[in-house]
Structure 1
Amino acid sequence: MTTSPEIVDLKPTQQLLLELIRRHAPITRAELSKLAGLTPGAITQQCRELLFSGLIIEGEKNMGQRGQPSLPLKLNPGGACSIGISFSAGFIDITLVDFCGKKLFSHSEIHRENQPLDITLTQIKKMVDKTLKKLKLQHARILGIGYAVPGFLKQDGKKRQCVTWLESWRDIDLQMAFEENLPWSAWIENNANASAIGELYSGQWNEYQDITLIELGYGIGAGIIADNKILRGGFKNAGEVGMAFPTGEPRPSYKDLLGAINEAGFEEEKLPELIKNNHPIIETWYKRAQQQVEQTVMGCLAWLDPQLIILGGSMPKLITKRLVQDIELYLDQRLDKERPRVKLTHSNMGAESASWGAAMLPLYQIINA
């Protein structure tokens, strides 16, 4: 494992150009100049530095225009990579992505409930070392490690009120612990924020700048992207929409769905079959959950006015797809026809959304923060 990580220190102008190239690639220098509001000379100078750094590359010549053919620019997937770590009930997941956000590798291991943090840190170190060796990336440029940790930030802004299976971590400064464990920079977000950043950098939604991801997992949360930036709030806990559905009461979460089928005598392994067959237990749960998600979506529209709402998390895709279809019909009835229409969709990331999103955190921090 490399012990002397290369620090990527970008000027604000270079961050802007990387973000524009990410969203609009392949893009010419002339197009960049217009979008960035910079002179052609400034664009040439900054892009030269980015090319030398290996973060961008030139594509094939554009022969369709008059004059000297232009060389469009795009991010260099091999320019750097980043690592994501996430924690779910009973598991720890690792994902590695390239500089374009493409997944290179993912792996899951058992993680005991309330495992002491020092044991987890050793486990993370071994997982990262094994992953880099497997992919022969021990000496690659690693931008950093993102961590998706479920739980809100406490009043001191350092410790997290982690979920019950990570309860023993609640009085620990996780940022400091993760930073000291490995030689790269570390960034922590909750699952919803990490997943939202993952969607932002997935390449699917480059035309959108205001995105809300509603996570329907073991809990309920929202990751809010406003003007391409994560919206954190005054205490850095924006998006805690699960507060509207207290734990212990019926709520539209994956954990709640599992509880419903368990009460009926079914195990989690039977869930896909029950959903496919529209079992009465599923239908009863779905009818109530749909109304709750509708309330959440309407609140999101009223308060945030996003261009795109994504339903994600560990909820089965058959459920989130159905919710999208039914809530679209609901919005047809509720919204004024003259109002600009939000796009409602479901995430394609599935159960890996938190670790994949966590791997995007270093990209976001380097380019967008």
Structure 2
Amino acid sequence: MSSPTRLILSEAQRRVVQHLRIHGPTARVHLAQTLGINPATLTRITQQLVEDIPTNSETGRGRPTIPVAIAGDGGWSVGATVHPGWLELVAIDFRGEILFEDTLPFTQNDPRVFARTVEARLRTLVAQRSFMRGRFLGLGVAVAGYAIDGDRNRRAVVDWIAPWDNIPLREVLGDVLGMPVWIENDAAAAALAEFYRPEIIRQHRSILVFFLGHGVGGGLIAERDLFSGEFHNAGEVGRLFPGSEPRPSGVDLLETLRRAGADVASLADLHGLLDPYRAVFDTWIARAAKQLTAATHSGVAWLDPGAVVISGALPQSVLDRLAAQVTEHCNRLFSGLRAPTPQIYASRLGSKAVVLGAALAPLHDVLESRR
């Protein structure tokens, strides 16, 4: 596998890439005018970062106006996360588009075994794919757990990955892998993935994301950057819903179905139960939507997001219905306000949002001024 390369962009380069990511392909002359960059300088500083988009359109006299877009081969990164019983990987190019997705059985809970498994699998995949020999930016790892003592690399984790608890994950994983590693909370990673969806990033600067998986988490994008908070725990909405009480989480839904007599082992089994247990789903969705509405109302009051996204590992029809009911409740709560209110979306990424957001972490870091 190619050696990881720390890609550092100048302020002008970041502005160009961000503009193209938000606004899509743009004629080079218009890009230079909009950003106030000399056309010759623009061409020089964007080598390997942008590419011409072929077009058959006629522009009249003179040379045709050829739009440019982000070049996929400007770099690539990988995201990884572990689930109960399996490991998930995804690689993306510099545009943020998926190069490959991969899953494999994994029952170990040792982070070092996780790192060695990821390294071995990546070596195999890279050997099979010639397009992955370009600039490798690093690995993002999404972890189910909140930061301890303000250190984003030390996490209080869920029980089934207990050996990951309160250890310097970036150093432990990086030492085994020999590459830059980004550690992120799973729900915060999902928020990053949701924000990079074209229909979101091209309309909104700030979003609030709820991720409903085994637990319930959240993530915040503020002014196009992932907001982590003073102690790197912004979006820990699970605190609003104690595990000892009914909550809008996947585990809670599983337990609700089991009490109703369903034989269900994991979230992957939910699709087959939608029809036979329709009434159970209806009741659970109605209750979860009210809980998410309360959290949304508070989040909107404090954060003023442009959008709220209901994301997670639940069936698409469940996410759709949750978003619709939260929208209905919020319309009543916001009625009479003259201020703009956020649009509420149901995610189309499903559980893949977590690993995709992990892969986006190295790329997002390159595009931000934070160092």
TM-score using structure 2 length: 0.91
Q: Distance in 2 between matches of 1:290 and 1:138?
A: 43
- C-alpha RMSD over aligned residues: 2.1
Q: How does 1:356-367 map to 2 (within 5 A)?
A: 356-367=356-367
Q: Distance in 2 between matches of 1:320 and 1:65?
A: 48
Q: Equivalent of 2:143, from 142, 149, 162?
A: 149
Q: Equivalent of 2:120, from 126, 135, 150?
A: 126
Q: Residue deviations 1:214-255, cap 9 Å, x none?
A: 111111111111110111111111000110101222100011
Q: Report SS of the residue matched to 1:276.
A: coil
Q: Residue deviations 1:277-304, cap 9 Å, x none?
A: 5533223322221211111111121111
Residue matched to 2:162: 167
Q: Distance in 1 between matches of 2:213 and 2:146?
A: 15
Q: Distance in 2 between matches of 1:59 and 1:279?
A: 48
Task: Give how far 1:210 is off.
Answer: 0.8
Unaligned runs of 5+ residues in structure 2 are: none
Task: Give how far 1:89 is off.
Answer: 2.4
More divergent stretch after superposition (276-285 vs 10-19)? 276-285
Residue matched to 1:116: 110
> Is the CA contact (8 Å cut-off) linking 2:112 and 2:176 kept in structure 1?
no
Change (3 A) 1:267 1:105: farther
Residue matched to 2:208: 212
Change (3 A) 1:44 1:296: farther
Q: Which amino acid aligns with 2:284?
A: W
Q: Distance in 2 between matches of 1:50 and 1:109?
A: 38
Q: How does 1:235-250 map to 2 (within 5 A)?
A: 235-250=231-246
Residue matched to 1:252: 248
Q: Which amino acid aligns with 1:5?
A: P
Residue matched to 2:177: 182
Residue matched to 1:71: 66
Q: How does 1:1-369 map to 2 (within 5 A)?
A: 1-2=1-2, 4-36=3-35, 38=36, 40-41=37-38, 44-51=40-47, 54-60=48-54, 63-64=58-59, 68-112=63-107, 115-137=109-131, 139-155=133-149, 157=151, 158-205=153-200, 206-268=202-264, 271-277=270-276, 279-337=278-336, 338-368=338-368, 369=370
Task: Give how far 1:184 is off.
Answer: 2.8
Task: Give how far 1:7 is off.
Answer: 3.0
Q: Report SS of the residue matched to 1:159.
A: strand
Q: Report SS of the residue matched to 2:59.
A: coil
Task: Give how far 1:211 is off.
Answer: 1.3
The sequence identity of aligned pairs, in percent, is 28
Q: Distance in 1 between matches of 2:110 and 2:276?
A: 42
Task: Give how far 1:317 is off.
Answer: 1.3
> Is the CA contact (8 Å cut-off) linking 2:76 and 2:132 kept in structure 1?
no
Change (3 A) 1:339 1:65: farther
> Is the CA contact (8 Å cut-off) linking 1:75 and 1:99 kept in structure 2?
yes
Task: Give how far 1:176 is off.
Answer: 0.8
Q: Report SS of the residue matched to 1:181.
A: helix
> Is the CA contact (8 Å cut-off) linking 1:102 and 1:202 kept in structure 2?
no
> Is the CA contact (8 Å cut-off) linking 2:313 and 2:350 kept in structure 1?
yes
> Is the CA contact (8 Å cut-off) linking 2:213 and 2:312 kept in structure 1?
yes
Q: Distance in 1 between matches of 2:209 and 2:129?
A: 31
Q: Which amino acid aligns with 1:76?
A: A
> Is the CA contact (8 Å cut-off) linking 2:148 and 2:166 kept in structure 1?
no
Q: Residue deviations 1:297-346, cap 9 Å, x none?
A: 11121111111111001122111100111122222222135231311111
